[in-house]
A and B are shown apart, each in its own frame.
Chain A
């Protein structure tokens, strides 16, 4: 658990676009996205 941790609040267009881009560049980054509804982005 020594990895840097990114928390994303909101799993729609902006949140999931950002998470994807961050993941591409930082395989080591721990990424957690919290979405209050039943779906993450359907278009991003």
Chain B
């Protein structure tokens, strides 16, 4: 294994239970033997990730209720479907975990219900774009229960048998929790390492915490939003890799910085791709900015080319300056990765009039002559 080639002593089944900053050591339990020991460090990197939010309701500790946060937790769900042969599943939460699990379980032939407390799935999209995704869940065969709040789980012989909301009880054989994650920062907080947004560990751009010789990266660490210019929390593998790389370069005696994120994310539910970047309407409003938006429907390929299908693009720009603030895309295959053009423009700080003549690729199999992203930019420009 390349870990061995790299001479990194990676010890699985070892849980760090305490950080002792005064004596520069961590207390580690070997979970296979139960043996505990103090291990010294000169430099410490905290990369403890995120933990799925578990609701504090009756029956929440019953069997058959699954959170998803690690390879192991995914394997457990797969095993439950393979061996338990469940017929029905209820997913609580309509974010990307909820959507992607809905797709996976529908493909396995289960009856899938999704419960979401907001009026839409994908709360990181504006309501009009979220509505398209809600429709996609229904079109894929999922039962959607919006504006319903989880109240309890019905349990029989230690196994979950139903999901109780404020409007109904949904009988089920298994439950998937997709209610979001929070930074796994308890260990750091107990040691007195400062945390910020949602309890994520504060770092500078080199991934150093406020304690000398202690670093943090990944889903337990805070990030910085380059559009809102405020501290931000995001739990995504792509950000974790980048922050980890930066921390590692610095720990190795080099110099690297991670400037921040623009809030880019993609997901899908069966045939429908979903993407977002930057700020959504409610975030812009909370910053007190004035904005304009445009939403257009176009095609993923030239209209006469086989396989062309619908794509809806929404863009948001600051009124007056025309600075791009965000974008959202919902559409068939080929739609989602177009978000990267908008994400790059956000990094560059482009205004929409600087984007209008971007030399984006065109040939009939890939786009109409005006790419849907540029059609939306043209429309929003008229309102700036």
Contacts and interface: CB of A to CB of B under 8 A. Distances in A.
Interface of A: 4-27, 29-40, 42-44
Contacts, number: 171
B8 A19 contact: yes
B248 interface: yes
A13 B9 contact: no
Interface in B1-59: 3, 6-16, 19, 26, 28, 31, 39-49
B248 A10 contact: no
Contact of A23 (B6, B14, B40): B6
B12 A4 contact: no
B244 A18 contact: yes
B49 A31 contact: no
20 contacts: A6-B43, A7-B45, A9-B44, A12-B70, A13-B244, A14-B217, A14-B243, A15-B217, A15-B244, A16-B8, A16-B10, A18-B251, A19-B10, A21-B247, A25-B252, A25-B253, A32-B11, A37-B13, A37-B70, A39-B71
Nearest to B207: A18
A18 B6 contact: no
B79 to A, nearest CB: 14
Interface size class, chain B: 35 or more
Interface centre among A8, A16, A23 (most CB of B within 10 A): A8
A36 B41 CA distance: 18
A27 B48 CA distance: 25
B241 A22 contact: no
Majority-rule SS of A interface residues: mixed
CB-based closest 8 A-B pairs: A21-B248, A14-B218, A25-B252, A17-B244, A15-B47, A18-B248, A14-B244, A10-B47
B225 interface: no
A26 B46 CA distance: 19
B69 to A, nearest CB: 10
Given A11-B12, A36-B14, 10 more contacts: A7-B43, A14-B241, A15-B45, A15-B218, A17-B240, A17-B245, A26-B252, A31-B9, A32-B9, A36-B13
A2 B213 CA distance: 17
B72 A8 contact: no
Contact of A18 (B3, B217, B220): B217
Interface in B282-338: none
Nearest to A12: B49
A12 B243 CA distance: 12
